[in-house]
Amino acid sequence: MKKILICALVTAMITGGTCFVVAQAPGAGEAATKEGATKSAEQGPTREIYGKIQSIKGTMFTLQTRSGVLVQVDAKPAVTAERSVNLLVGHTISVKGTMDKAGVLHAEILQKAKDSPTIWPADR
């Protein structure tokens, strides 16, 4: 089944197709989709911020943004997915993830950033 899906995707990309439908048997995929929708509804939209690491404790760290605001970041999702740089106090990074109701940013991607805040893109 995976080979068929991959072949269909490659064929669509090569021929410039913009729309195709892949039928999927009901089952585990539906549960995962519902769980993912619930999780993102609880956490909110994806955010991307830049800043300097102030402190690290386990997989949690505090990031100071260019405006001086301190943001708590949970690096565990990014580290688990192997989408993280080494975290060191004083280094500047870009964090992409979702903010929960408690104000903790759950990082999906952690990347090194230039040391100069003037060249960082706007936080979003």
DSSP state of 101: T
Give the pLDDT of residue 43: 61
Tokens of 40: 């993102």
Give the pLDDT of residue 118: 80
AA letter at 36? G
Tell me if 46 sits within 8 A of 56, measured CB to CB.
no
Instruction: State the distance between the two ends of the chain, measured CA to CA, in whole angstroms.
Output: 39
Give the pLDDT of residue 106: 96
Q: Per-residue pLDDT for the chain (124 aa), expressed as one digit of tens each?
A: 555 555 555 555 555 544 444 444 444 444 444 444 444 435 678 899 999 999 999 999 999 999 999 999 999 999 999 999 999 999 999 999 999 999 999 999 999 998 888 888 888 8
Q: Cite the DSSP H helix spans in the chain.
A: 2-15, 28-43, 76-80
Q: How far apart are CA 75 and CA 106, in angstroms?
A: 6
Q: How far apart are CA 54 and CA 93, in angstroms?
A: 11
AA letter at 108? E
Domains and CATH numbers, the chain: 44-117 (2.40.50.140)
Task: For residue 79, give the nearest of 54, 105, 107 by alpha carbon.
Answer: 107
